[in-house]
Amino acid sequence: MSGLQELAGADAWAAPVTTARLIFADGTELAGYGVGATGHAVGEVCFNTAMTGYQEILTDPSYAGQIITFTFPHIGNVGTNDDDIETVNMAARSGVLGCVLRAPITEPSNYRATRDLDRWLAARGIIGITGVDTRALTALIREKGFVNAVIAHDRSGTFDTAALAAEARAWPGLEGMDLTRDVTGGQTFVWDETVWDWPTQSYGQLAEPRYHVVAIDYGIKRTILRLLANEGCKVTVVPATATAEDIMAHEPDGVFLSNGPGDPAATGEFTLPALKTLIDKDVPVFGICLGHQLLGLALGGQTQKMHQGHHGANHPVKDHTTGKVEITSMNHGFAVDPESLPDTVEQTHVSLFDGSNCGIRLRDKPVFSVQYHPEASPGPQDSHYLFKRFVNHIRERKGDPLVDERG
């Protein structure tokens, strides 16, 4: 009996009608109760170990093509609101295809809640299933690696299991798949909103920007833009398809490479020419997540698919430039192979979970990137200093005084 079959038999479903299924390529089906949108979707099943911030996770465009299994059982108990959405391109559908939950969604208990998670999921077209042994599913993914599956919700409780399993088998997987075109914005726009101010219960606005950063949108998150604005940067956001000429026409003081979904090697087929030109221009560059992987490719390295990926808000990373360890937020299924990097590139950050690469920089230029999410939405704020590090590169180029990264 396979691990999936054992998992399917682990829960004896006593309810007379179950309205949702998670169906794997081998035909194994997990029954549960549907929440959110109806219909079905096929994608890669991953797990996220964060205990808070489910709304930020569910609106992270980096999850395009994936179905998230939450290991924390109580998802939805604080409801949802309009302030914690991370998606910038509201015209695009949510990146995530579906979510797998252990406990039923309860009525929200939080003063900021404006809608319960069930209705919020339905409004965003996200299919959910509750009543699944998510810890057993997580253990299976850790053992066997990513699995492809169909998540389905039908209020009648009727499913064509064979057809859905065939759809899961036919899905090619994320390797070789570029998903940035599905989540990037089609328009160039300026961002000046700063971080949340608790006394006023609102986001601030940058009145007098000192520097100008162009951010390439591979699926960028709002909190990233807010932290750049918080450092005094007017941010011009351009689509993933922007050329180096498009970017340099804005006369940026620095260029930011955003997070995003899919296989970096596939996205690199149309993005690397622009990145290589920008590096040659000697402009300060900072990348995170997919932006980190693309930078690694542009510098001559290679990327590889991970066994289970890193998804959570509790990942320890060591910064070799300072000797300090920080707890980080992560969301990626691909990684830069450090052995493939040329001598001109220094590895700056390493995961203390598995030793995988988490940061690089050029030895002779103000160009660096990290694999994790220093904006920490959700997650700990240990890595906010990286935004100051980036702007310090800009300050240095302009002859301005530097600031304390940890201040």
Sign of the alpha-carbon dihedral angle for 232, 238, 244, 250: negative
pLDDT of residue 201: 86
Question: Taking the domains of the chain in order of start, what are their residue ranges?
Answer: 3-170, 180-398
pLDDT of residue 186: 87
Cβ neighbours for 160, distance < 8 A, ≥ 6 positions apart: none
> Is this structure's pTM higher than 0.75?
yes
220/217 Cα distance (integer angstroms): 5
List the catalytic residue out of 46, 231, 375, 384: 375
Q: Is 373 a catalytic site residue? A: yes
Indicate the fold that domain 180-398 takes in CATH.
Rossmann fold (3.40.50)
Q: Is 375 a catalytic site residue? A: yes
pLDDT band at 200; cut points 50, 70, 90: confident
pLDDT of residue 18: 96
List the catalytic residue out of 289, 311, 332, 358: 289
pLDDT of residue 359: 98
pLDDT band at 25; cut points 50, 70, 90: very high
Buried b (16+ CB within 10 A) or exposed e, 4-27: beebbeeeeeeeeebbbbbbbbeb
- Phi and psi dihedrals of 271, rounded to 5? -100, -25
**pLDDT greater than 50 at residue 86:** yes
Summarised one tens digit per residue, pLDDT across range 367-399 is 999 999 999 999 999 999 999 999 999 999 999
**pLDDT greater than 70 at residue 93:** no
Beta bridge partners of 48: 70
**pLDDT greater than 90 at residue 346:** yes
- SS in 3 state form for the chain? CCHHHHHHCCCCCCCCCCCEEEEECCCCEEEEEEEECCEEEEEEEEEECCCCCHHHHHCCHHHCCEEEEECCCCCCCCCECCCCCCECCCCCCCCCCEEECCCCCCCCCCCCCCECHHHHHHHCCCEEEECCCHHHHHHHHHHHCCEEEEEEECCCCCCCHHHHHHHHHHCCCCCCCECHHHHCCCCCEEECEEEEECCCCEEEECCCCCEEEEEEECCCEHHHHHHHHHCCEEEEEEECCCCHHHHHCCCCCEEEECCCCECHHHHHHHHHHHHHHHHHCCCCEEEECHHHHHHHHHCCCEEEEEEEEEEEEEEEEEECCCCEEEEEEEEEEEEEEHHHCCCCEEEEEEECCCCCEEEEEECCCCEEEECCECCCCCCCCCCCHHHHHHHHHHHHHHCCCCCCCCC
List the catalytic residue out of 153, 292, 315, 373: 373
Summarised one tens digit per residue, pLDDT across range 294-320 is 999 999 999 999 999 999 999 999 999
Angle in degrees, CA 377, 117, 101, rounded to 5: 85
154/367 Cα distance (integer angstroms): 49
Q: Is 358 a catalytic site residue? A: no
pLDDT of residue 16: 67
Angle in degrees, CA 296, 321, 311, rounded to 5: 55
Indicate the fold that domain 3-170 takes in CATH.
Glucose Oxidase; domain 1 (3.50.30)
pLDDT of residue 95: 82
pLDDT of residue 340: 98
Beta bridge partners of 254: 213
Residue scoring higher pLDDT (90 or 183): 183
Summarised one tens digit per residue, pLDDT across range 47-67 is 999 999 999 999 999 999 999
